[in-house]
Structure formats: C-alpha cells, structure tokens
A and B are shown apart, each in its own frame.
Chain A
Amino acid sequence: MRRIISVLLENEPGALSRVVGLFSQRNYNIETLTVAPTEDETLSRLTVTTTGSDRVIEQITKQLNKLVEVVKLVDLTEGPHIERELMLIKLKATGSQRAEIKRTVDIFRGQIVDVTSSVYTVQLAGASDKLDGFVQAIGTSGVLEVVRSGVSGIARGEKVLSL
C-alpha cells in the first residue's frame, strides 16, 4: 500500500544521506522524496512516499526513528491528510492544439506560465493521481518535458507535526 511519511530531521550535513541510505540498505522503496528547511532553520522537513506491506511500513517508520538525526515522524496516510505535488510540463502547442491545451489546463485548474509560438509551459499542483490524469488527458505525444516535485503532505485538522 502507498504511504506518505513526513519526517522532521535535524538540518545538518549528511542527515539526508542517512535517510536515503537507510532505504537502499534495507531494500525499501522510495517513490518520491522532497526535502526543505522549515520555519525553524535547525529543522528540515522531509516527505517520502513509499509502498510496502504493513510489516515493511512498520519497519520503515521504526528504522527511520532510530536514526539519531530524525526528531519526529508521522505516517500521514494513517489519518485524513492533504497531499500536493507540483508539476511543470512543457507541451508542444501549435495551431488548433493551443486552444485544446488551454481548455484542458483550465479543467485541471492549472496555469500556463510560459508561452512561445510553439510551446506552452504549464504549472499544475495537486495529488499525484491528478497530475497523472492531466498527462493522460494531454496525450504523451505532445509532451516535451516533465518535472515533478514529489509529494508534500500535511495532516488535516488540528494535528501538527512539530517539536
């Protein structure tokens, strides 16, 4: 099952490599990984999406917790949560394609953020499957380049991940 694990990590050199190393060492899967400092500059927040059986997920959270630089973590998929991923996608846009793409972008509530005579660059945010849906709707033949940020997530309601 797909899980989103959010980790507060000491913002120190090498801390990220420990997390990534743990996944490869123990044969766990990383689907996406995002990391950036938080409002408290001594902490980074890392979000990893992974898949595995319940036992594997339990081991992943326990092993992550064992890393000395991991301060706290939460498996967001255990409760209601919001997940977002950002995609920038460059599309071939000539002739009648231009209007068609514009319509599809509007339906997906994306924005065209850069335009040339033959190319649109589109920005789209949402859950990962929405981004997949957009790419599918556009059709791969028109896609020139895709960059995705990986998933960020946060719990709904009062629940917070902080010190």
Chain B
Amino acid sequence: MELLSGADMLIRSLQDQGIEYIYGYPGGAALHIYDALFRQDEVKHILVRHEQAAVHMADGYARATGLPGTVLVTSGPGATNTITGIATAFMDSIPMVVLCGQVASTLIGEDAFQETDMMGVSRPVVKHNLSVRHPSEIPEIIRKAYYIASTGRPGPVVVDIPKDMTAPNERFEYAYPKKIKLRSYSPAIRGHAGQIKKAVDMMLAARRPIIYAGGGVILGKASGQLTELVRKLGYPITNTLMGIGCYPASDKQHLGWLGMHGTYEANMAMHHSDLILAVGARFDDRVTNATEKFCPGARIIHIDIDPASISKTIDADVPIVGPVDAVLKEMLALVKDSKEKPDAEALASWWKQIDEWRAFHGMRYETSPDVIKPQEVIEMLHRLTNGDAFVTSDVGQHQMFAAQYYKFDKPNRWINSGGLGTMGFGLPAAMGIKLTHPDDEVLCITGEGSIQMNIQELSTCNQYKLPVKIINLNNQALGMVKQWQDMNYESRHSHSYMESLPDFIKLAEAYGHVGVRIDKKEDLEPKLKEVLAMKDKLVFVDIQVDRFEHVYPMQVARGCMKDMWLSKTERV
C-alpha cells in the first residue's frame, strides 16, 4: 500500500471523491495542505478574496449541480469567516464540506496564534462536524464528511484539521473507503407504504386540493416526478421561494409562489383549500403567516426526508418520512392504478374560483413613462435570456422582484439565500456556477446594498475570467428595510439610506471589468442587449430604478395566508 502524508492523503481523498474544484484561502495552519495541493493538478483551487465568498461559491455550485461543494481555509479568522456561509448553507440544506486548518493538536486550548474552537463555533450551524485526531483517519473522515453532507437532508459538514495531522514527514498507508456505514445515521430510503396509500386516497377525495412544494423537491431531484403527478391529477400547485423551478412557472396549473410576497392566487388557494399536499417544504414563518390562523379548512399531508420538519410548526394529518422522489413515484403509481378519480365537477369549480383570483390580481405593478421599474428590468431579462439563465440574488427587494418576475421553468436555476437571508451571497454564488457552466448565462441580480458585502470578489472574477453579469437594481436605499419603515414606522428611514455610494462603473473598471450605467428608460432594452452580447466579459450593470417602489403582494403581519397588501393602498 502507498504511504502518504496527512496532507497528501487529504488531497488524494478529494481526488478519489471526484472533487474537481475547491474554493479557499491559505494561511499558516493550512500550509501543508496547500503544499500538497500545489504538487498535483486534478483538484483545482480557486483563490477568493474573503473566506465567506469561498463558502458561497461552493454553495452556488452545489445548488446548481446538486453535488456537494468544497471549501478549504485556515484556522482562526479563516475559519470564523466561513460561518455566515456555512449558516447560509445549513438553513437551505445545501451539501457542502468545509475543511478548516487548526493549530497543532499540542497547542489546542492554549490560546495559540490563530486558534479558534471551530468545532464549538460551527456546531449550531452544521449538519455535523468532525475533527482529525490521527493522520491515518483522514481518508475515512473525508469519506464520512461527504456521505453525511450529501445524504438524507443535506447540509454542511466541517472538518477540523490540526496542523500536525498534515505534517509532510509522517507517512501512513492510504486507502479510500468505498463505502461508509454509520450505526447512528441512516436516512430513510422510502416512505411508509400504508401512509402513502392513505395520502393518495385523501388526495383523490379532495374537493379543493393544492400542492405546496418546497426546496426539498429540488434537493431531492424530484421535479420530474412532481410534475408528472401534478399533471396527472390536474391540481393547482404553488411552491416556496426555495422551490422555485421545481414545477414549470409557465404552466397553467402553477399559481406562482406563496407566502409573504407570494401571489394573491397562491395565498388565496392555500387558505381556501381542503387538502394540502406539502412536498419537501417546512411550513416556514415566511410562508404560514400566523400559524394559528393557517388554512383553517385544510387537512395536511406532509412528505419530508427530515422527520423533525414534520409537525414542527403546523400539525400534519398524514406525515410521510422519506425521500420525495421515491414517495412521489409510489404516489403516482397508486394514482394511475386507482379506480377512484378526482371529482371532475368539484375540481372544475375549484379552478373557476382560482381563475377568478388570478384575474383579480395576478402579478401586476404600475409602470411609469420615465422611471425604470425594477420589475420591468426583471421581465426584460427573462425575455432576453429566454428564461433560461441561472439567476442568483442577494437579499431584499431585488430578490423578491427577481423571484416574482423571472419565470423559472427548470429546477436549480434560481439560486438565493432563502432561509438565512444572507446579503453578499449573490456574486460569489454566481461565480461558483459560472466556473462550471461557462456556456450558460449567469445573472447576479442584486442591489447597491448587498453587492457591497462581497464586492472584493470582482478581483477573483478577474483572476479566473468569470464573465457573470451583475444586475444592480440601484434604488439608493436598503429597499426592503425602507419598505418596512414606510409601512410600520411612519416612514422614519432609520439608516436605510445609502449615502456616498461608489461609482460602480469606475469600480468595475478598476477590477478589469466593464461597467454600464442605465438611467433612462429608453436605454434599458438596447443596453441590456449589448450587455448580454458581451459573452466573455464580466459586466457590472448599474441600473437606476424607482426609489419608491415596494414589493407586493405582501402578507399582513400576524394575519392568515389571505391577508395581504396588494399595493400601497389596497388591502384584502
């Protein structure tokens, strides 16, 4: 058997795991590992400018491909800088392995230079973390880390590696484990057959059914099964912000997404339904509004890989623990075989009602002859990219506009920090996608607040030639904060105004990119076309949009699903 140092074993393990890219930043405790990285070319390393961005890059890659991302950083500040990124991935169940250097095991606990208890610091925001206690354990620990990160409900796994574990002069036998089995960890591989049967019977007997799908459908690669089942049943479907793309938005059965900024028809249909089939969604507070007023007439079937997500905030009548693809496949087979059919008359009158809601509101906004509306920028981008781009976003109004007006027909294309709501996520996530999808259009839709949270990555984009398109919806304010202040604090705009914004055009140019400013409505289409035609350039597009726009619909706080503001003056 081959003898390798801990550092070489680590890199070899990554190779054997099939890892192509890692994102990171070197430092003292990780230097043995970086040296091993230098002596090979199978695993490619992308040097970021801040560790948080490395994690978001890995995250963007994981969301677009469904494969775990990988990060490598040093101890202390290198490790703590990853925490926001790890928490972002944790909240959205994104598979990821974060390899952190650590001071030598002999120094741990002595407050050594760049020492942080990364096991302790990361614990609340990881699916699991592992510490290397002997170099020979490295291959098994790496195998275990990827296995845990990418199975069951996925999530980030941190591996803490003291520097002496990777010392070049100590060598050990290397073998990468083919299989890993943990007696304390066995995710469900199928749902309970009896529960599935019961659920299907309920579904077929329902008169006002609705399917409520979440990010779990995308993570579980079950869009195909879901689409087939929904079409077979002919029922309306809505999805969460994280579930966008799990069912084609252009399809007539799709009601748009639901919740705080969801569509009128989706929220109305949820509230008036008599049966909700929840698939890989977790009844988050941004969806349910006040839980005690949630959908009073509905019985609930809840499919989730994570038992703890079931009956956490809303009680399920039929809980089904299992992978969504397997469960939906069984459901589809039962629906096809069943002698019972959905009640056509009830369904027709349910659709008639839904179509009335659609006609009443749908998605609409007031246009203006001279001011650029953020919504129209998104609609235009959708048209110009044929609805086929990867779209990342940061957090705030631009995120909601992008999710509302870019109609996604495919999964894994809408990439945003839904659970944690991390500003600064969009650009590095877009970079992670562009790196592995060079021929696809990758848009980062952002605002002048969010983009400044990881703007240093324009430098990384220059180094690796990552021609993403940054669409900065510049309203010169922290728009969502300002909207809440308008609605709840009598327009006292406490610290939501961005004074002394940089000249983004010059800034882009300083980093070696192209900057384009759009401030006239008539320039919007021709300039966006020019921007999209610059295939091999990163273009920073600074668009001056309406400073006073709000995101609607918006649920009324502490109300039920159907209590919404539809504009600044209309409340239902």
Contacts and interface: CB of A to CB of B under 8 A. Distances in A.
Are A and B a genuine interacting pair, yes or no?
yes
Interface of A: 10, 13-14, 17-18, 21, 25, 55, 58-59, 62-63, 65-66, 68-71, 163
Given A55-B315, A66-B307, 4 more contacts: A17-B120, A17-B123, A65-B307, A68-B148
Contacts of B312: 59
Contact of B131 (A10, A14, A58): A14
B128 A14 contact: no
Contacts of B129: 14
26 contacts: A10-B184, A13-B131, A14-B123, A14-B131, A17-B120, A18-B123, A21-B123, A21-B124, A55-B311, A55-B315, A58-B311, A59-B308, A59-B312, A62-B307, A62-B308, A63-B308, A65-B307, A65-B308, A66-B308, A68-B127, A68-B128, A68-B184, A68-B185, A70-B184, A71-B183, A71-B184
A52 to B, nearest CB: 13
Query: Closest 3 CB pairs between A and B?
Result: A62-B308, A71-B184, A68-B128
Contacts of B148: 68
A69 B127 CA distance: 11
Contacts of A70: 184
Contacts of B315: 55
A25 B182 CA distance: 25
B306 interface: yes
Contacts of A66: 306-308
Interface string B295-338: 00000000000111001100100000000000000000000000
Interface string B160-183: 000000000000000000000011
Contacts of B124: 21, 25
Interface of B: 119-120, 123-124, 127-129, 131, 148, 182-185, 306-308, 311-312, 315
A75 B185 CA distance: 19
Contacts of A17: 120, 123
A62 to B, nearest CB: 4
Contacts of B182: 68
Contacts of B127: 68
A140 B137 CA distance: 54
Contacts of A69: 184
A163 B182 CA distance: 13
B167 to A, nearest CB: 22
A124 B182 CA distance: 40
Nearest to A25: B124
A21 to B, nearest CB: 5
A69 B308 CA distance: 16
B134 to A, nearest CB: 13
A17 B128 CA distance: 12
A17 B306 CA distance: 22
A163 B119 CA distance: 27
A5 B264 CA distance: 45
B123 to A, nearest CB: 5
Nearest to A22: B124
A66 B153 CA distance: 10
Contacts of B128: 68
B237 to A, nearest CB: 27
A163 B183 contact: yes
A18 to B, nearest CB: 6
A73 to B, nearest CB: 11
Contacts of B185: 68
B119 A14 contact: yes
A85 to B, nearest CB: 28
A99 B315 CA distance: 58
A69 B129 CA distance: 10
A54 B131 CA distance: 36
B378 to A, nearest CB: 37
A68 B183 CA distance: 9
B261 to A, nearest CB: 27
A26 to B, nearest CB: 10
Nearest to A18: B123
- Tell me which of A10, A65, A66 has the highest count of chain B C-beta atoms within 10 A of its own C-beta: A66
A39 to B, nearest CB: 16
Nearest to B309: A62
Contacts of A59: 308, 312
Nearest to B182: A68
A80 B183 CA distance: 28
B184 to A, nearest CB: 4
A18 B122 CA distance: 11
A14 B127 CA distance: 14
Contacts of B120: 17
A92 to B, nearest CB: 41
B109 to A, nearest CB: 12
B128 to A, nearest CB: 4
Contacts of B307: 62, 65-66
Contacts of A18: 123
B277 to A, nearest CB: 21
A65 B127 CA distance: 12
Nearest to B128: A68
Contacts of B131: 13-14
Nearest to B313: A55
Contacts of A21: 123-124
A2 to B, nearest CB: 21
Contacts of B183: 71, 163
Contacts of B184: 10, 68-71
Nearest to A163: B183
A148 to B, nearest CB: 28
A64 to B, nearest CB: 9
A68 B129 CA distance: 9
A13 B131 CA distance: 9
